Structure 1
Amino acid sequence: EQYLAGLAEGVTLSYGKGVSFPVILSQRGEVLHNHRHDGILNKGNLLLVDAGAENNFRYTSDYTRTLPVDGVFETKQREIYEIVLRANTEAIVSLKPDIYYRDVHLFASQIIAEGLKELGLMKGDIQEAVKVGAHALFFPHGLGHQMGLDVHDMENLGENFVGYDDTISRSKQFGLSALRMGRKLQEGFVITVEPGIYFIPDLIDIWKKERKFEQFINYAKVEEYRDFGGIRIEDDVLITGNSHRVLGPPLAKTVDELQKMICS
C-alpha cells in the first residue's frame, strides 16, 4: 500500500503541485479517511483509493475508485459495487442548477437502500428507512462537497456558511449531518459525487446491541458481511447552465472496465 501511495504522490508532483490532500489508499475501506498505508495487498481484498492532485494553477481534484486486488470482483463484492455504481451514476445524471444537493444525497441514499434490500441486508419500507436514517449504518457520510482552490472549497469559513444558507439548515440526523453541501446548486459550482457502502464492525455492534432500526436492518445477514470492508466511487462534476459535466478524462469505473484495466 505504501509503495502505491508513493507512486500516486510522485505522479501528482511530476505534473503539478502535488496531492490535494493526503492520499487515502487502503484495503480497510470501511475506515473513513484512513491515511495508513501499512498493509500488504492480499488476493480477494478490495483496495480503496481516494486521491487528488493540485495543478500549477492551484486547482484541485478528488477521485475515488475501489479495485479488486487480484483483478476479479468476487460475487458479494460485485453485487455491492454495482449498487454504489448505480448511486454514483444516477446521482450525477440528476445534477443541474437550482436543485438542493441534499435532495440528491437522499436520492442516492434511496438507491443504496433499495439495492441493500434486494440483497437481504435491509427490509421493510425503504422510503421510510431512508427518512429515519436507517441506511446510514452502511452510508454514514455525505454525498459530496464543493471543490475548487481547496479540495473542500471555502470550508475554512465554516461548513454551515458554505454548504447551507437561509433556505436550508444542516440536519442533526446521523449520516445526513455529515453532508457538507446541502444548498441549491448553481452554475459554476464544482462538486464531488461520492456514494459508498461500508460494513463497519464497531458501528454494527453498537446498533445491533441497541436494536436500532431492527424493522429496517437484517442484522443476521449483515453479520455475513462483517469483514467486507468498504466501497466508494467518486467523481468531480461541474454544474453548467442547464445540466452538468463530469470533469477530467474518463476513469475506469464499471466492473468490466476495472477488471480489464487491472488484468492488463
Structure 2
Amino acid sequence: MFKKEVYSERRNRLKNKIKSGLILFMGNQESAFNYPDNTYHFRQDSSFLYFFGLDLPNLAGLIDLDSGKEYLFGNDFTIDDIIWMGKQPEIKELAAEIGIEYTEPLDHLGNFLRNANNQERIIHVLPFYRGDTIIQFCNLLQINHTEAENFISVDLIKAVVELRSIKDKYEVEELIKAAAIGYKMHVTSMKMAKPGIIEQEIAGVIEGISLSYGASLSFPIILSQNGETLHNHFHGNILEEGRLLLTDTGAETNMHYASDNTRTCPVGGKFSQKQKDIYSIVLSGINHGISLTKPGVTYQSIHLEVAKVLAKGLTELGLMKGNPEDAVREGAHAMFMPHGLGHMMGLDVHDMENLGEDYVGYDNEIKRATQFGLRGLRLGRRLQPGFVLTNEPGIYFIPDLIQKWKAEKINSSFINYDKVLNEYSGFGGIRLEDDILVTETGHQIIGKRIPITIDEVEETMRS
C-alpha cells in the first residue's frame, strides 16, 4: 500500500466534490471457482483500492459527507480463519493503515444504509459490474434488485473519474514497475516465436512471468498467429514459418497497476518484404501518434491523424486509392483498423471502464462519434498532464469484413478490393502498442520501450 496520507488526501479531495449524503465503496467478495472454498484469484475493486487501499475481500468503505466521518466495515477473523490462514490484522489495525478512525462489523452496514435511506439522505454508489455485489447491496438495504440502479450517482462517477484520471508520482512508479514486467513478457514471446511451437506454450510462459514479478495478468493474454482477430484468446495453433505472431499482453503489479503492450513478430525471426511494408506503416502510425501526444490536444484528433498515416501508407502500396484525407473523412481506413487508437490505463487496464466509457473518455466538449471504427475510440477527450493512455494502431486483413464491404460496395472509391483479396488473403494482422504518460510539456513512454523497429525485433529474436 501507499502511505496512509495518500488515501486520506484522496478521500478529502473526493469529499470536496460532493455536497451531502453517504458515499459507499463496496469492496469485492471472494468468488467460487467450482465450490465455495475453491475460489478464483481475488481481485479487489479498483475504486475501493484507490480510496481505501486494502486488498482484502469482504470490506466496505463509507464516507459520511455531512458529519465528515469515514468508516471501514469488516469482520475480524475468527480462530477458524486463523487456523487456515495464519494470524491476521484486526479491522481497527487495517483502518489505521489507511487513516480511518471509525470501524464497524460488516453486518452493521445495513443499519447505517437503511437509516440513511429512511431519512431520505442520498446514498452515492458507483455502477455495479458484479452480480454478487448487486445482491449484497440490495440485501443491505432490503430492496428489490431492480431498485439498485436508482442509487448510482452521476456526481460520484464524475468525481471519481476526475480524481483517478490524473496519476500521481506514486502511481507512475507502480506503472513503471508494471511496464518492466511487461517488457520481460514481450521479449520472451518474441524469443519463443519459432515454427512448431504451440501458442499455448508461449502464453503459459509469459503468464508465469507476470505471476513471478507481480500480482497477475492485467487482462487475459491475446496471442495468436491469426492476428486479424482483434481479441483472440484461442492459443491452440501451431506456429508456422512465415506467419506473424501478435502478442497483446500486460501485467499487474502487486498493487494492481497495469501495463498493456502489443508487439507483432515474424515466426522464425525474419519479416518478409510484404510484412515489412505493412509493419512500417503501423510503426510510422504509432510513432506519429506518440509525437502528437501532449496536454490540450484531443485524443480523437490524434486518432484521426494516425489514421491518415495508415491511409497514406496503404495508398502508396495500392491497397487504398484516392486522397488519404478524404478516405479517412469517409471512414474507409476503418476496414483495415476497425478500432480506436487507445484508452485510459491505471488501476484497470481499461481504466474506470466500469464507470462508463463516455464519462471516462469523453466530456461535454468531445462526444463519441457514430462512424464505424471511430465510434470504437474509448478515449477522445482533451488530454491533461497525468493522463496515462495507450497508443495502439494496427492494420488487419479481416476476411469477413473485407467480403462484406466489397459486396455492399462500401467505400469502393477508396479501397482496391481486388488487390486486397488477391495479394493479402491470409496475411493476418499487425498491431503495435505503447503506454504513454502525458506530462506537463508533452509525453513519456512508460518504462523501457519494448523492441519495436524491424531491426530491433529481428535482433531480439536472434539473441
Query: Structure 1 length normalisation: TM-score?
Result: 0.99
Once residues 55 and 149 of structure 1 are traced to their aligned partners in structure 2, the CA distance between those partners, rounded to angstroms, is 10
Matched, 1:237 2:419: no
Select 1:256's aligned residue among 455, 458, 461.
Answer: 455
How far is the alpha carbon of 1:25 from its aligned partner? Answer: 0.5
Once residues 50 and 122 of structure 1 are traced to their aligned partners in structure 2, the CA distance between those partners, rounded to angstroms, is 27
Q: Report which of the two structures shows the higher radius of gyration computed on alpha carbons.
A: 2
Other-structure match for 1:170: 368
Other-structure match for 1:181: 379
Once residues 75 and 249 of structure 1 are traced to their aligned partners in structure 2, the CA distance between those partners, rounded to angstroms, is 28
Any idea what the Cα deviations from partners look like across 1:193-242, whole Å, max 9, x if unmatched? 00000000000000000111111000111111121000000000000001
Matched, 1:121 2:319: yes
Q: Normalized per residue, which structure has more helix? A: 2
Amino acid in structure 2 at the alignment position of 1:54: E
Matched, 1:73 2:277: no
Other-structure match for 2:358: 160
Once residues 366 and 379 of structure 2 are traced to their aligned partners in structure 1, the CA distance between those partners, rounded to angstroms, is 10
Amino acid in structure 2 at the alignment position of 1:218: N
Amino acid in structure 1 at the alignment position of 2:457: L
Any idea what the Cα deviations from partners look like across 1:117-158, whole Å, max 9, x if unmatched? 000000011111100100000010000000000000011011
How far is the alpha carbon of 1:56 from its aligned partner? Answer: 1.2
Query: Structure 2 length normalisation: TM-score?
Result: 0.57
How far is the alpha carbon of 1:18 from its aligned partner? Answer: 1.1
Amino acid in structure 1 at the alignment position of 2:322: G
Select 2:214's aligned residue among 1, 8, 16.
Answer: 16
Once residues 324 and 241 of structure 2 are traced to their aligned partners in structure 1, the CA distance between those partners, rounded to angstroms, is 35
| 3-state SS in 1 of match to 2:390 | strand
Once residues 370 and 286 of structure 2 are traced to their aligned partners in structure 1, the CA distance between those partners, rounded to angstroms, is 24
Other-structure match for 1:137: 335
| 3-state SS in 2 of match to 1:192 | strand
Amino acid in structure 1 at the alignment position of 2:276: R
What is the Cα-based RMSD across aligned positions, in Å?
A: 0.5
Once residues 277 and 389 of structure 2 are traced to their aligned partners in structure 1, the CA distance between those partners, rounded to angstroms, is 27
Once residues 257 and 75 of structure 1 are traced to their aligned partners in structure 2, the CA distance between those partners, rounded to angstroms, is 16
Any idea what the Cα deviations from partners look like across 1:101-129, whole Å, max 9, x if unmatched? 00000000000000000000000111111
| 3-state SS in 1 of match to 2:239 | coil
Other-structure match for 2:60: none
Other-structure match for 2:245: 47
How far is the alpha carbon of 1:58 from its aligned partner? Answer: 1.1
Q: Percent identity?
A: 58
| 5+ long unaligned stretches in structure 1 | none
| 3-state SS in 2 of match to 1:81 | helix
Amino acid in structure 2 at the alignment position of 1:33: H
Once residues 426 and 406 of structure 2 are traced to their aligned partners in structure 1, the CA distance between those partners, rounded to angstroms, is 16
Amino acid in structure 1 at the alignment position of 2:402: I
Once residues 372 and 443 of structure 2 are traced to their aligned partners in structure 1, the CA distance between those partners, rounded to angstroms, is 29
Any idea what the Cα deviations from partners look like across 1:40-92, whole Å, max 9, x if unmatched? 01100000000000001210000000000110000110000000000001110
Once residues 251 and 113 of structure 1 are traced to their aligned partners in structure 2, the CA distance between those partners, rounded to angstroms, is 25
| 5+ long unaligned stretches in structure 2 | 1-198
Other-structure match for 1:226: 425
| 3-state SS in 2 of match to 1:86 | helix
Once residues 120 and 176 of structure 1 are traced to their aligned partners in structure 2, the CA distance between those partners, rounded to angstroms, is 23
Amino acid in structure 2 at the alignment position of 1:6: G
Q: Once superposed, which parts of structure 1, at least 4 consecutive aligned residues long, lie more than 6 Å away? A: none
